[in-house]
């Protein structure tokens, strides 16, 4: 059972607290991604699990065994490093077998395990090469192979794709997802790239400033971010935030006023909010539409339009100095400087209170 429980984990260097009390439960066979901006503590958390960082307080329990004080090698974990950390003086075979050799595994077993890992990762023809003679993607695979041969309870990945070019990254992402299914192992993966997080994870852990902001499946995070940070971090282009003020509400409707004066009525209960409260309206690019200015929720001036083929991102400057990014169809043609209207799908809009916490989301009520 590779179930990992982290209880009240803290880590500080001198006066600076990097991890401010982390509680997390990672289930067996789960692919969990830690995501967050740089400096949020995600790597430190991963390295604490690996045993490469000594924690200040708290507990790490793997499969019922308290591993908090154990050496890295005694934890039954394997790690794939951002830089791959291959041994430059050893060939691929040796790189993969090194850990087994140190553990005193007999030669035949090592041979079999290395062969097996090489087959899975399509490295068989490269076994006698040195790392310097491999491409970036191949090195990456060797690093993974080095982890696989040990059959660890948990695989740890520290931003493993960040040194690859864009095309290779997409390919390796797929391979990692496939590998997860093939090995059916528990995997913990750290990245700052929310696309990687969304595509790979069973569950995503969003971290910020040493704390966990939210844990959930990719769609949960997308649809029900618990606060403005998560809402802004997940999804590209980013969710737009417009400050607003509550001016009234009755029944299942709530009316807010935007800085530019427009009134919007959201289909949601005004119970927990009082009139006059400062809130933030959050709306994703895909939940806005460019329309003719007459009947629109808002009007603004079209700035740059970016054509991606499948979609078009329209940047619209609205009153109050805000810019909205609207996702339009691939065929949309806009004129720079044109006055356009923007319509909101208000049933998908999010509201955050002045502290940034989500006010019971409308969609959640609808669901």
Partner 1 sequence: MIALSQKQRRVFSQIALTAAAWSVAFIIFFPILWMVLTSFKTELEAFATPPSLFFSPTLENYQEVFGRSDYMHYAWNSVVISMGATLLGMLLAVPAAYAMAFYETKRTQSTLLWMLSTKMLPPVGVLVPIYLLFKESGLLDTRTGLILIYTLINLPIMVWMIYTYFKEIPKDILEACRMDGATLGQEISRVLLPMCKGGLASTVLLSLILCWNEAFWSLNLTAANAAPLTALIASYSSPEGLFWAKLSAVSTLACAPILIFGWISQKQLVRGLSFGAVK
Partner 2 sequence: MTIQSCDLNASVVPMPVSNENSAASAHSKAQRVARWLVSPSVLVLLLWMIVPLSMTIYFSVLQYSLLYPGEHPFVGLENYEFFLTDEGFSAGMSNTLILVGAVLAITVVLGVAISVLINTPFPGRGIVRVMLISPFFIMPTVSALVWKNLLMHPVSGVFAWLAQVMGMEPVDWFAQYPLSAIILIVAWQWLPFAILLLMTAMQSLDKEQVEAAKLDGAGGWAIFRHITLPHLARPIAVVVMIETIFLLSVFAEIFTTTGGGPGYETTNLAYLIYSQALLQFDVGMASAGGLIAVVLANIVAFFLVRLIGKSLTEKH
Q: Which residues of this chain interact with partner 1, rule CB under 8 A?
A: 50-52, 71-74, 77-79, 81-89, 98-99, 102-103, 146
- Tell the smallest beta-carbon distance from residue 127 to partner 2 (Å): 29
Closer by beta carbon to partner 2, 13 or else 107: 13
- Tell the smallest beta-carbon distance from residue 72 to partner 2 (Å): 9
- Tell the smallest beta-carbon distance from residue 66 to partner 2 (Å): 18
Rg (alpha carbons) of the chain, rounded to whole number: 25
- Residues pairing with 34 in the sheet: 190, 205
Give CA–CA dist 90/11, Å, rounded.
35
- Tell the smallest beta-carbon distance from residue 53 to partner 2 (Å): 5
251 lies in the site for partner 2, by CB under 8 A = no
Task: Name the binder of 291 from partner 2, partner 1, none, CB < 5-8 A by kind.
Answer: none
Long-range contacts of 105-112 (CB under 8 A, 24+ apart): 110/149
Residue found under tokens 């982890």: 147
Closer by beta carbon to partner 2, 44 or else 312: 44
Closer by beta carbon to partner 1, 51 or else 282: 51
16 lies in the site for partner 2, by CB under 8 A = yes
Closer by beta carbon to partner 2, 15 or else 355: 15
Task: Name the binder of 332 from partner 2, partner 1, none, CB < 5-8 A by kind.
Answer: none
Closer by beta carbon to partner 2, 14 or else 104: 14
The number of C-alpha atoms within 13 Å of 65 and in the hemisphere containing its C-beta is 13
Give the x-and-dash track for 187-226 against partner 2 (CB under 8 A). ----------------------------------------
In angstroms, how far is the first alpha carbon of the chain from the final one?
Answer: 35
Task: Name the binder of 65 from partner 2, partner 1, none, CB < 5-8 A by kind.
Answer: none
- Tell the smallest beta-carbon distance from residue 154 to partner 1 (Å): 12
Whether residue 281 contacts residue 360, with contact meaning beta carbons closer than 8 Å, is answered with no
| 253-257 sheet: strands from edge to edge | 263-266, 253-257, 240-250, 278-283, 350-352
Closer by beta carbon to partner 1, 57 or else 83: 83
Question: Count of residues for the chain?
Answer: 367
87 lies in the site for partner 2, by CB under 8 A = no
- Token reading at 178: 């496939």
- Binding residues for partner 2, rule CB under 8 A, total 8
Closer by beta carbon to partner 1, 102 or else 167: 102
Give CA–CA dist 27/75, Å, rounded.
17
Closer by beta carbon to partner 2, 47 or else 224: 47
Task: Name the binder of 77 from partner 2, partner 1, none, CB < 5-8 A by kind.
Answer: partner 1
Residues 38-67 that bind partner 2 (CB under 8 A): 47, 52-54
Give CA–CA dist 358/155, Å, rounded.
33
Task: Name the binder of 81 from partner 2, partner 1, none, CB < 5-8 A by kind.
Answer: partner 1
Whether residue 205 contacts residue 33, with contact meaning beta carbons closer than 8 Å, is answered with yes
- Tell the smallest beta-carbon distance from residue 45 to partner 1 (Å): 15
HEC letters along 237-283 = CCCEEEEEEEEEEECCEEEEECCCCCEEEECCCCCCCCCCCEEEEEE
| 31-35 sheet: strands from edge to edge | 77-80, 154-158, 186-191, 31-35, 203-208, 211-216
Which residues of the shown chain bind partner 2 in the complex (CB under 8 A)? Answer: 13-14, 16, 18, 47, 52-54
């Amino acid at each position: 059972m590779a179930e990992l429980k982290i209880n009240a984990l803290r880590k500080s260097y001198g006066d600076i607290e990097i991890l401010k009390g982390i509680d997390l439960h990672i289930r067996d066979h789960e692919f969990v991604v830690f995501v967050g901006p740089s400096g949020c503590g995600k790597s430190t958390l991963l390295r604490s699990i690996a045993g490469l960082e000594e924690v200040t307080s708290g507990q790490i329990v793997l499969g019922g065994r308290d591993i908090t004080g154990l050496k890295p090698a005694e934890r039954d974990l394997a790690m794939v490093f951002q830089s791959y950390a291959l041994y430059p003086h050893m060939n691929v075979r040796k790189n993969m077998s090194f850990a087994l050799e140190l553990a005193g595994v007999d030669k035949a077993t090592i041979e079999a395990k290395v062969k097996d890992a090489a087959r899975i990762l399509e490295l068989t023809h490269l076994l006698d090469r040195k790392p310097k003679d491999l491409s970036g993607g191949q090195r990456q695979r060797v690093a993974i192979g080095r982890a696989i041969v040990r059959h660890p309870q948990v695989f740890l990945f520290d931003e493993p794709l960040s040194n690859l070019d864009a095309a290779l990254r997409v390919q390796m992402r797929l391979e990692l997802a496939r590998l997860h299914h093939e090995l059916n192992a528990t995997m913990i993966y750290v990245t700052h790239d929310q696309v990687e997080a969304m595509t790979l994870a069973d569950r995503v852990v969003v971290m910020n400033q040493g704390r966990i902001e939210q844990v959930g499946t990719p769609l949960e995070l997308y649809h029900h971010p618990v606060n403005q940070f998560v809402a802004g971090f997940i999804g590209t282009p980013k969710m737009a935030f417009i400050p607003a003020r509550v001016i009234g509400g009755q029944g299942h409707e709530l009316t807010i006023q935007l800085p530019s004066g427009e009134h919007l009525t959201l289909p949601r209960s005004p119970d927990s909010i009082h009139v006059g409260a400062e809130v933030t309206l959050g709306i994703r690019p895909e939940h806005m539409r460019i329309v003719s200015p007459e009947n629109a929720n808002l009007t603004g001036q079209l700035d740059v339009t970016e054509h991606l083929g499948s979609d078009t991102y329209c940047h619209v400057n609205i009153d109050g100095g805000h810019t909205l990014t609207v996702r339009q169809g691939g065929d949309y043609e806009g004129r720079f400087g044109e006055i356009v209207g923007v319509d909101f799908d208000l049933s998908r809009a999010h509201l955050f209170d002045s502290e940034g916490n989500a006010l019971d989301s409308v969609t959640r009520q609808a669901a």
